[in-house]
Structure 1
């Protein structure tokens, strides 16, 4: 069967699709790049925001109207299977049942929401989107239960992969010519806590960086209070490990953080950021903010603005609050911040963030940076610095090459370097 994948959401979803593609290919099915060439469309879904969920229903409706066979996987499949059944889809596969994709495609399973995520390991076939950069899931699920978040209900409780199995996968990736690895988890720095055998993200990174062939290691996403001193020390010590920490704050107000059930205060968050900046040379911070959480007033928002100014994020994702079915916030809190207020606050926050990014990028003009090429498009190559800044170079350079360039300009969050300033080295 010819199968097309449409994937929404985070890097975890992207990698889940890679795993399902690998399993299908091994079973003799063909993965195609165009919907019109397919016998079946698999929609891998995201439910973290209402807008993401609505996109899924809209796409499924259009596909079914066009006569396409549709299978649904991911967070919407896990949390809204009854609603999806009304759309007449071929199958519904939960987030922890992706190993059943072959049975589902071959018509042996209609609905599978069982937890068999532990069956996915280093021996599971994966059809990766990139040739030199690999995603590696190291921990599934989330135990934090933030009041606004649907992830613990759709992804389940935290479950870490054995350290030896992750290391085996990294070794295989190195043998297959991969140059970069990103370790993934809803709370990536919770890795190993459930194993109770001394496994940790810090230990995994330290062991992995010693493996020949892989030149860069990334990790995301971090939960503030789970970032350990050992992790910060390891990141600062080894040059192969990314100096970027993506640490969602969600709010700068202690009152709102408490209503969100975030397990830290603004003071503790800022202390963690300061520790990273002090101990990790050339480090950078990325983050997420939710605007318009129930009862957020002007003073709460001003505290968030102040936090953003203090942290000076290299990149910040800003989104309006939207109630998610089944969460504490949806059940007990009124969504009482008008949308026009949310929109205004988002605009103010983005304006400040853009100003900060402009200052951070201006500081790099005429300076040399080292980047690893990740992809090319229209005679331009794109690579990232070790602190997660995207750089465009006006020359086609092979993926995986490490190069040094001089920054000449920046625009919309991307730095630009001329090929005349490029030096390639082994």
Structure 2
């Protein structure tokens, strides 16, 4: 096996590229990065430099001459980034944020990059992909078929898997350009990529991915359904999931507007991580801080956590670390109670202590955790008996105001 050589493609205007946030984007199996990402890149061009890479033997790239692993593919992307920095196409580490977004095998490469090169990207989006895709047996069978008979054997099945119902009829040019790349892909390079997917499985090691992750799924995807995105988001240290309702397996081509909006909203607030190792980089394996930050974001929401982090200074930093590590990373991550029950207990404690600002925050958290307005009301009624009627009166006013926002 050998690390494949990857061909970069600049998808946005090169003017000022090295001083701007950049997104490296990866393709799915059988497609080309321009056909898949071109329109989405144009929508992101005002805020980001977008650079794509193609799999060997795809879209005119040089063919691969040997099998490679997903780890070696990730290493090839990392080498590509190093070359782009040396050429001044991408800013130096820490000078401007650098992000990654990939589809299917490109998404799997993103997960592998987060695992193997944790400091390379400031945020990663894994699109229409999973911690494990298919079965090793299925990928080996496909590799043998395509190596013997060529990629045209994949066109009909891919047309069914790749696109949501009605997409090809409504957008024939987009679909045709993608299927044309597939038909002309080098058969042995396609087979090499299949064997890389056969050996890819991060399902038991997602927690090692510490960069912020956005997992995007297509609502109609039968290859990597939305449940796979939820698994990815829940397994990494800091993850969230989103669904593109109109898409199947190639979201950037099927709905560029929705994909660009999700990526822009996710990447834009993320700062460049310092090239100097800080407290997070120095944490020992097993430190609950990263898991705690992930749960904290899931329960309280990104906006709240980002505001809290923005207000951290030397006086409050250790307190915020303690809350994230022990409250969120040690207690909220335990399996003994579901999150609705934990929210009910927390709401009661806030009422009993008269912590009204915290109560408002945790009513929002309860809604995010799946509590209904009826369940929140029952908690407040219970608190009226065991805490006090005046305390419950304040709680009802706060709850009424918060719940009205969701209505």
TM over 0.5: no
Between Structure 1 and Structure 2, the one with more helix by share is 2
Q: Report which structure shows greater RCO (CA 8 Å, sep ≥6).
A: 2
- Which TM-score applies when normalising by structure 1? 0.29
Larger % of strand: which?
A: 1
TM-score normalised over the length of structure 2? 0.31
